[in-house]
Amino acid sequence: MTPASQPLFHLTVADLEALLDRKLAGHTETVMTTDQVAALLATSESTVLRLVRAGKIPARKLGQEYRYYRSEVLASLPSTVQTPITDTAEPSVQQTGQRAG
């Protein structure tokens, strides 16, 4: 039996991240950090965290950090918000914002 003053489990953030990686190994969903979400949305990390606290961006707490599913972040945006063009767009769309045609 362990004394009440000692935790049953001692996991570091790195341990928790490794567990999360193993748990998500079979999934194709992209898991992002706060700084990655900030870059995706072209905003600051503090703004992302404010939106998380307000319940506008879904997140999961991992230790003292948050993790986000990319699809949930994008789905949480109002339809009037346009995200920055990513490298997955067609070249003609990336350069002009419109399809060549």
| The pLDDT value given to residue 17 | 80
pTM: 0.55
| The pLDDT value given to residue 78 | 82
When the candidates are 1.20.120, 3.90.830, 1.20.58, 1.10.1660, the CATH number that belongs to 13-96 is 1.10.1660
| The pLDDT value given to residue 96 | 44
Domain spans, the chain: 13-96
Strand order, beta sheet including 60-62: 31-32, 65-69, 60-62
Which residue ranges of the chain lie beneath pLDDT 70? Answer: 1-9, 24-28, 79-101
| The pLDDT value given to residue 16 | 80
74, 30 Cβ separation under 8 angstroms: no
| The pLDDT value given to residue 36 | 95
| The pLDDT value given to residue 8 | 62
Return all residues near 97 (Cβ < 8 A) that are at least 6 apart: 85
| The pLDDT value given to residue 21 | 76
| The pLDDT value given to residue 14 | 83
